[in-house]
Amino acid sequence: MEFLIWLSLSIAVTIYLAYSRASLGVFTSCYALLLLAGSFLNFNGIISWIIFAIIAIPLNVRSIRKQLISEKLLKAFKKIMPEMSSTEEDALNAGTTWFESELFKGDPNWTKLHNFPQPRLSLEEQNFLDGPVDEVCRMHDEWQTTHEIADLSPEVWQYLKDNKFFAMIIKKQYGGLEFSAYAQSRVLQKLTSVSSVLSSTVGVPNSLGPGELLQHYGTKEQQDYYLPRLATGEEIPCFALTSPEAGSDAGAIPDFGIVCKGEFEGKEVLGMRLTWNKRYITLAPIATILGLAFKLYDPDSLLGGESDLGITCALIPTDLDGVITGRRHFPLNVPFQNGPTQGNDIFVPLDFIIGGAAMAGQGWKMLVECLSVGRSITLPSNSAGGIKSVALATGAYSHIRRQFKLPIGKMEGIEEPLARIGGNAYLMDAVTTLSTGAIDLGEKPSVIGAICKYHLTEKMRDCVIDAMDIHGGKGVCLGPTNYLGRAYQGAPIAITVEGANILTRNMIIYGQGAIRCHPYVLAELKSASNTNPVEALDDFDQALFGHIGFTISNTIRSILFSFTGAHFVSTPFKDKSKRYYQIMTRFSSNLALLSDLSMATLGGDLKRRERISARLGDILSYLYLASATLKRYNDEGRQKEDEILMVWAVEDSLYKAQQAIEELINNFPNAVVRKVFKLLVSPFGTSLNKPSDITDHKVARLLQVPSAARNRLGQGQYLTRNDTNLLGKLETALESIIACEAIVDKINKATGKRHGIINLDKLAKQALADEHITTEEAELLIATEQQRLDVINVDDFDPESLVTVKSKAKRSKAKDDKAA
């Protein structure tokens, strides 16, 4: 009996130490005390102590441990470590890690998450949103832009320049606005309310481009010359990276420059002869200054170093002889300025390199550093802003539009996609707020940037498809009153640019996340590539045994959480969200364990097992999305009205994280490891469900009725009530319809008939004549009928108005020729 107690105590101590991540020294001391107790009770003798010493001494005496264990493992590690290109190495080292690293550790600090300050707009930023942003939204005509002139109007272009829309990232000392990342996000979200052409045009110069690169890496002369001109719109920038032969594989760009001497502006200078062929370059057709990425070679060693210098970034004025711009691509009827650019053997001085000659070959490092910030802002913000507006518009339309004398929003078939739109709108805004807040705290979150870009653009596409399904013909028929069609057409653009989503999910999120967020893997990789053998062994030894302890801890935690459901895990709140924090802590431990065992089993082959790494990345991503949602809910005061939106968003994310875990286990290539995974992580199968029908119903209902929660969901969007704002008119019509429903009920009660929300003008005249309603009520019914028809009607055209100008000219000439 005493032995069983001692054995049980030993097991309990082991589990506790592993769960709490005790150090190796604490483990050793506790086992020594247990052996001492066992010796006192005559359970073990000298042999037990000898075995303990044989194990404990090599593990705890670092000089012995390094010689007997770490040195051999380091040699083996170097052999299996996958080859890494210089571009991959720069990408891994770019940016910083933030809260996503907590999610990778298996024991997230939720208090730390909630202690991050909630981003706020300054008075200047708020005034900009209320003033110039509102005004340019009012000025913009989407039908004119997308159908008639295939561009923003000259008046809008000038207004953008005059009000420094292209200078949000430029510091005040150069004449810029120097807005926070959060403010930039809010501006883009509001602009997307009316046009993705408008938001893309503003977003790109404030993301990855000459302005950002100059501020971080430019020489003082470059900064003093270009930044003031960029701030006032005197210069229009673009950045050319993508080539026909190199898209996602940017390291393979064939564009090149040769260091040589040549004549420039009448003087012989040291420079470069550049040749390039780029495509998909936003603003290239109208740019005055071209940021160019190319590979630089120095075959004559004029710079005194290697001949292959690597990717370099330079600023090329587009008015130089030989620079070709002006032609346009036409991406899916969303006519933002985008096109190719070419140049052949164009000589420019070396000081055209951003940062001067000293930054030759440093271009890729510069790009990935800035991209980690830009990917967290522009496309995620455009996506979130678009879906916030779509949520309000689709909710309003679902209540206004009637079939079978019912609002279509009351049909369960409509409630399901409508709930997806509402729940994702809440989540997407939460993610952009948290992520831009991190940037404003000084972070350059490369992994978060990839998560935001992939998941928010994917959610945007899914939600636009859902909205189109609900609107039916109203969304299909293009015209001045269609607020959905261009978003539907243009959704694949966001999926494709700034790193195609297939690449981002399968290679980048986990590829960077596993190394950057893991507490030990990056240290192991660096030690393996360290040319100093003493330092390498010392660093590897420390990282290796930390990694072993980390894996043991997550194994124990995963087993405990699997058998207990993580119900004993402490959480920051005791309300409905409590269970979500517990499940997320469990999944965090699962992620850490599955990641370690996948790396140990597959080694360098994991890099090529893209579907395995994609699912590991999905687990990390959905944990981050759920974390952002919970933080938003808390930051906004844990409003009871908003709870259903939080519930939908978190439950959807956790269900998808569970799916990723199950798919990873079921498709793992090693059958034995597959069974081990199942036993450790999911011995009883799945337990989570996607949001219930009741939850869907509540979210769908929230979108269809004005309320404080609905207002918070659409906060910051362009909803001004005027004759040119389609969303503002929808909101007015929704409020009018709800007011008229009570009047129609009054008429129905008086007449004993069941009148629907149709032909309200005729109903008003008859009811007024019968004295069932007042004059004011009749006037409201008549006005609302026109508003209702404006919402449900679609555009139609004279056939000639749909024919392009050139086609008309050809047809006219053909008629003339025939007549002649």
* 329: helix, strand or coil: coil
Closest to 667 in 3D by CA, of 617, 612, 620: 612
What pairs with residue 272 in β-bridges?
Answer: 259, 348
421 to each of 158, 166, 467, 468, how far by Cα in Å?
35, 31, 8, 11
Query: Between vectors from CA 431 to CA 136 and to CA 572, what angle results, nearest 5°?
Result: 140
- CA gap 43, 6 in Å, rounded: 9
* Cβ atoms < 10 Å from Cβ of 769: 10
Please name the residues in contact with 258: beta carbons below 8 A apart, sequence gap of 6 or more. 272, 273, 296, 297, 298, 299
- CA gap 368, 94 in Å, rounded: 6
- CA gap 512, 98 in Å, rounded: 13
- CA gap 362, 260 in Å, rounded: 19
Choose the catalytic residue: 125, 369, 498, 651. 498
Q: Are 104 and 620 in contact (CB under 8 A)?
A: yes
- CA gap 12, 727 in Å, rounded: 62
Closest to 77 in 3D by CA, of 389, 476, 535, 536: 536
Look up residue 90 and give its two tokens: 């720069």
Active site residue 643: no
Look up residue 244 and give its two tokens: 């026909």
Q: How many DSSP H helices and E strands does the chain contain?
A: 35, 8
Q: Are 381 and 184 in contact (CB under 8 A)?
A: yes
- CA gap 597, 115 in Å, rounded: 33
Look up residue 6 and give its two tokens: 């001692």
Residue whose entry in the numeric block shows the structure tokens 């929660």: 709
HEC string of 622-636 equals: HHHHHHHHHHHHHHC
* Cβ atoms < 10 Å from Cβ of 244: 11
Q: Are 428 and 459 in contact (CB under 8 A)?
A: yes
Phi, psi of 402 (to 5 degrees): -115, 140
Cα 819 from chain centre: 60
Rg (CA), the chain: 31
Residue type, 805: V
Give the strand pairing for 308-317 and 289-297: antiparallel
Q: Are 339 and 328 in contact (CB under 8 A)?
A: yes
Q: Are 190 and 184 in contact (CB under 8 A)?
A: no
- CA gap 224, 60 in Å, rounded: 58
Residue whose entry in the numeric block shows the structure tokens 């297939």: 502
Render 29-72 in DSSP notation, one character per residue. Answer: HHHHHHHHHHHHTTS--HHHHHHHHHHHHHHH-HHHHIIIIIHH
Q: Helix 610-635 vs helix 643-666: angle between axes, to the nearest 10 degrees?
A: 160
Render 209-259 in DSSP notation, one character per residue. Answer: SHHHHHHHH--HHHHHHHHHHHHHTSS-EEEE--BTTBSS-GGG---EEEE
Q: Which residues are catalytic?
A: 498
